[in-house]
Amino acid sequence: MTELLVLVDHSGGAPRRITLQLLAAARAVAPALGAEVAAVWLGPGAAEHAATLGAHGAVRVHHWDSADAKGYVTLPQVEALAALVAADRPAAVLFASSNHVKDVAARLAVRVDGGVITDATGLAVEDGAVVATKEVFGGDVITTSRVADGHLPLIGVASNAFAAEESGGGPAEVVALDVAPSDAATAAPVTDAVVQAGAGRPDIAEASIVVSGGRGLGDASGFELLERLADLLGGGVGASRAATDAGWYPHRFQIGQTGRTISPSLYLGTGISGAIQHRAGMQTSQHVVAINKDPEAPIFQIADFGIVGDLHQVVPKLIEQLEARRG
């Protein structure tokens, strides 16, 4: 049977949340494509997670058990996938629309003359082809697109667009993928991998709740307050460009047109006016809460719940009450 391949996004030896969401997305379209869902795991660690991948619908996992996968920039993964695509002729490949994974898809698309669509929020099958729904221009316009006939569809799926769901399947069969990277693929080694994620807080793309701060925080110490709030809610912490430009919070947490796009269930913005450049990174969030002292701030136009007030008074009260609820 033809395979619908899911490229496993993993970190620290474990699949990231998006991987299970990708499997749910794959299961939704596989029957109409006449395909079965299979995973691809590049790098060590697949065997330990075969049960989880199987329970979420992967019948097998192609495993390239090599540290080279992440020991060099992008290309070893591209070569391994290209070899698998040539041998297997999958119906399509689904991948996480995260930065380093998109590079793999971009290079693979050139190599196999496929087509790439990133950040899909919905998938359907029409006339045997995968049709991807995508929200562009920060969610102002919703498009449907597909990859031209005769070319391998490489579809990047947005975080939180699909809910992970168990299929009741048994452990995925682990099938070894035997490739050796070329000299060209090992030209750019990774010499150091630095993990800076803080205190087990979820990444803003994966988190169900994101607390975000802007210019109104006044200084970097405002983010300590937001981190306390986020930790009470089990959420991630993001920032506007004004806040990252000021050096109050690291750039990788910047939400907006020149930063990252997030779609959590709940976005809670504090001290953020909600200029169009910021909204482009968060307005597809399911629920938006805004706390800002300016009643005219544009963020209130898209807020489901807004508080006109001083965040330095409101947020500590909010923390107090959430702590009290916890007992």
- Which residues does 193 contact at the CB level (< 8 Å), separation at least 6? 70
Q: How many Å apart are CA 252 and CA 254, to the nearest integer?
A: 6
Tokens at 75, concatenated: 């290309």
CB of 303 to another protein, least distance (A): 5
CA distance 59 to 61: 7
Q: Are 164 and 17 in contact (CB under 8 A)?
A: yes
Distance of closest approach, residue 269 Cβ to another protein, in angstroms: 13
The residue behind tokens 């750019």 is 188
Q: Which is nearer to another protein, 33 or 315 (CB)?
A: 315
Q: Provide the 10 A C-beta neighbour count for residue 99.
A: 10
Query: Which CB atom, from 164 or from 175, has the smaller least distance to another protein?
Result: 164
Rounded Cα–Cα distance for residues 168 and 132 (Å): 26
CB-nearer residue toward another protein: 176 or 325: 325
CB closer to another protein, 140 vs 219: 140
In the complex with another protein, the residue whose CB is nearer, 29 or 147, is 147
**Of 175 and 307, which has the nearer Cβ to another protein?**
307
Q: Which of 95, 99, 101, 149 is nearest to 120 (CA)?
A: 95
Alpha carbon 247 to chain centroid, angstroms: 24
Q: CA-CA-CA-CA torsion for 164, 49, 237, 207, nearest 10 degrees?
A: 0
- Paired with 210 in beta bridges are 236, 267
Instruction: Kindly state the tokens that stand for 302.
Output: 């898209």
Closer to another protein by CB, 23 or 315: give it: 315
Min CB(272)–another protein separation in Å:
15
178 vs 310 by CB, closer to another protein: 310
CB of 44 to another protein, least distance (A): 17
The least CB distance from residue 151 to another protein, in Å, is 5
To the nearest whole angstrom, how small is the minimum distance from the Cβ of residue 115 to another protein?
A: 3
Q: Which is nearer to another protein, 39 or 209 (CB)?
A: 209
Query: In the bound complex, what is the minimum distance in angstroms from residue 257's beta carbon to another protein?
Result: 5
β-pairing verdict for 2-7 and 92-96? parallel
How near is the Cβ of 175 to another protein at its closest, in Å? 27
Shortest Å, Cβ 59 to another protein: 28
Amino acid at 44: P
How far is residue 219's CA from residue 248's CA, in Å, rounded to a whole number? Answer: 6
- Mention every residue, 6+ apart, whose C-beta is less than 8 A from residue 269: 212, 213, 214, 282, 288, 289, 290, 291, 292, 299
Q: State how far the Cα of 29 lies from the Cα of 35, in Å rounded to an integer.
A: 9
